[in-house]
Every structure is written in C-alpha cells, then in structure tokens.
Structure 1
C-alpha cells in the first residue's frame, strides 16, 4: 500500500507539480514576461490582446502551431526522432525540478549537484542535438556546430558558478554539495564574510552570463542567427515540432530563473514555502531574476561566434573560477 501511494505521489508530482504542467505554465508566463518587458524597453506594446494584458498569447501561439500548422517533412527527416529528442530535452528539466525544495517529493544525496548538471547540462543538450539532426540541412548543421562550440564553454561556466554557493554552505549541510542544502542556505552565504560576498557576487554575474548563452538570448543568439543561417539548428522545424521546441526553450528559460532564485537568492528563505512572506519573497526573487535576464538581452546586439565564445570565457568562465578560489579562501579563513 505504501509503495502504491509513493508511486501515485511521484506520478502526480511528475505530471502536475512541480512537473510538466507547472513548469509549462511557468515557462509560458516567463515567455510573456520576457516579451512584454522587452517590448516596453523598445517602446512597443508586446503581447496585448489574448487574455488579460496579453498573458495568454504564448499559449495561443503554441496551440496554433500544434493545431493549425503542418509539420514539414523531407526525404531524409525523421519526425519521430525529432519528437524524441525534444521530449528528452523537456524531461531532463522536469527531472531536475525534483532536486529543488520546491518539490514535495525530493531526490537528495551528497554531491547531487553533479546529477543536476548531468540532467540540465548534458541530457538537455543531447535531446536538442537529436532533434536537430533528425532534419539534416546545411543551415541546421552550421547552427548546430555553433551550438556545440558555445556549449563547450557554457556548461563548465555554469557548473563552476554553482560550485561557489555549494562550497560556502558546505559546513552547514549534512549532505555536502547537495542542491537541497545549497538552496536552503544560499541566502546566508552572502553574509558569511566580505570575501564570501565578493565570491557570491562574481559567481552570480558569471551564472547570468552563461545562462544567457545557454538560452541563446542576445548577445548569444548565434546558433539561430537569422541573417546568416535562416534559423540555424531549427531551420526545418514547423508545426507541432516547432511548438515543442519553443516549449522546451520556455521551460529552460523558467528553470534558469529558478536556479538563480534558489541557488543564489535562497528562494523563500529565511521564510518557509507555505508562509505568505515566503511565497511573496519567492515570487519577487523569481521576477527579479527574469527581469535581469530580460534587461541584458534587450541591451545588446548579437555577436559573432568567436566573439560569443570569448564573452563567455571572459565574463563567465574566468570570473567563476576566481569566485571558486575566493570561496575556498573564505571557508578556510572562517
């Protein structure tokens, strides 16, 4: 009986909260927020007609692609393989949600930060590569090659950035380097010492830069450079496949803001999730993370591939390594 209840609870968590339905709704909201904020910064209206303040426009766009647009086929393509790749990409992020305090069913273990990077960094990328290669095309290959080149520096930068709060709070954890422990105690890492504050600030700035690159937001929208590659690795996507791809991107965008919110800003802490103060604080931190990502995207134009790699190395990888050294020093001193 207990096993059946556990399986049922896991299924509910996977499908509803914090699983597919929740992260889909949050991803669509994040896309609306992003489009609306960028439009306001550029003196445009943005989504305005579908739903209150246009908030349902991303959902309408997705349903239109699913229901009204045809999936394009070509001689050497495989729709099934493309769908499988996109499902893997989405599932990798849904699985990652179970490692956060947000989830009522939590998977936690010492050093599970490596598991998070394996799911979020490796399997999400593998899913996108499978989906793109299911539609062979010169523009797809060129866009995918740029994507791979960026990923080589992006993922180590993200991992190095996330190690900083893990190092600073390791003494407070029964399970060292676990996501639950980092998310629960990251808010206090800022106040351990001036050196710890500098390390956290450097790591947070590094993470924001690397997440912008992972999301292919300006100035890193290089794999989808429309002027050069039509749409790069998604040139051949249409109909339901394009809707799935857009959904995977929205979910990845939402999860990026969740990572910042929990692993650097402490989520609802020092309050609990179920308290009014905690829920308000969590929402404010999440919106702040979204706004910062949006503001940077609206402030820059696209760079070339070599410039993009140089930017990630200069403003993310190197600062995150420096932040690791500072955090280790701060722990030793204290």
Structure 2
C-alpha cells in the first residue's frame, strides 16, 4: 500500500460504479465496531452503510495478509504494512513486485482521514485497498483477477456469504471487508494519551519536548491526531524531484507538496519523509532547525525560511516527546 498516484485516476472512474452499489449491501447481525477514543474528534468515516461485524473484520484481516492477492502470489498488504511497526516497514521505499517511489505510510486512525497516501490520490477509505492491489509495482492484480482468486477459494466464498448474506461475491463486498479491518486500526493508548487524559505524566525531557512541540509544531501536527491533513512543502528540496500533490491536482503550486503525516507511533516507522531520506528521528527533527530547510517558492508559510531556532538539547527533547506517542499495545496487537 505504497503511494502510486496513477491508481487514483482509475479509482475515480470506478467510483461512480462502485459507490452506486454501496447502499444495497445487506450485512448480518449488527455489532459495534471498536470503541472510539473519547478524546478524539468525530471520525470522517462511519460504518453506516458498511455495518461492522467481528466476522467482517476477520475477513478483511485475512484479505490484508493474503499474498495470493498479487501477481506472483508472494506479496500481501501486510508485506509492507507490518503490525509491529505501526503497519509500516523499515525500507526507504516500499517493496512489492518492484520498488515503489515513496516510503511506506503507517496505517492507523484511518477513520479520521479525508485523504490517503502522500499525494492524497484516494479520497475514500473504501477505495484504499484497491490502490496497492491493482498497482503494477505493488501487487499488480486487476479487479477481475482478484475476484477470480477469491471466487475459486471455497473458504473465501463461505466467509463472504456468512458476512454479507449474498450468494455472489463482488467488488463491493471485498472493499467493505478491507474497510472493516482498516477502520479498526485505532491507535490511542500512548504515554501522551495517558498524559492528555490525566491518567499519567511524562518524563521531564518528554514534557519539555511537548512544550517545544506546542510552540513550533502544532500548526501542522495538532493533537490528538497529530496531523491537520493538509498538503505541505517543508523545504526538503529547492527543486522537488517528486511532483507530489501536483500529480493529482494538476496545479504547479502543489509541486513538492505532500500530505502532513500523523506523528503517532512515529518512533516505530523509520525512515522518514515521503522518500525515506532521514534514517532517524533526530535527523528528521534536525531538518527543521536552522539551516535545514531548503528555499522553495512553495514553502509552507507556517515554516520560517531560516528554520526553527532549536539547540541540540531542545531537539533531543522533541525526540523524547515523539517517543511518547508510541502506542505499544497497538504495535503488539496480533
């Protein structure tokens, strides 16, 4: 599930057909999805037409980790999105059938996201799984090929019938099952969450880093999601080699802009930036200090062109704070 924006064009064409069918899905017994964090805002996606069930979640999880849903039968979504790494990996560029062009994004708190992937090329949670499955660098299957694999498997046919109470397995059901799993990847139990809900405190260095973060970083990374979902040029390159958001918007003003990522579990997901250029959190934080930001006519106005005045100790304190966003229970969940 890397960041290959050409898929977005295909999904947009498919969207009218697929969304037209969404309202017709009848799901078995109503069950409650995982409880949402009380200190989070209202989610962008709700399971109103796609009723969440434990069976649907299990089916979506099975699809996510099934390598048969790839052209060579060896690559699954889980190949790049590993649970212990907040559903990311440690490679600079995601590796499916071939190397991708961007770093693997973490998968967490997707219910709150209005855009997906670094360039925002997918705008609906129910389409997210189609992007990697159909991309030639990732899993490389056509939709018809994916359905054929599933229909030939008696266990899948039985599971889909149990969840959706239909005799015919179709794309709509596959998207719903994937979404029930992906939407359940909620991370909200980090040390910072315990601090924010007054259940615990942070270490002195992490608290100092939190104060610095509030002073310099919350404009783009506001809690509790630690992203504002905007698209930003943070001065990685004066002349961006990756067009970023411009590939989707077709606007020259968006060249080199990428979606602001959530910083939750960021300590688990090196390397950093859309192209994985920074191997450590310390390097990523240092980019924003004086001298790190490259001149760009599209530089986000929230960033000072001369960089942020941070001493080495202050940078270390911000790193300590970022570690407090690690949700170990989320990373250990099977």
Superposition TM-score, scaled by structure 2 size: 0.30
Query: Which of the pair has the greater relative contact order for Cα pairs under 8 Å at 6+ separation?
Result: 1
Structure with greater helix share of residues: 1
TM (normalized to structure 1)? 0.30
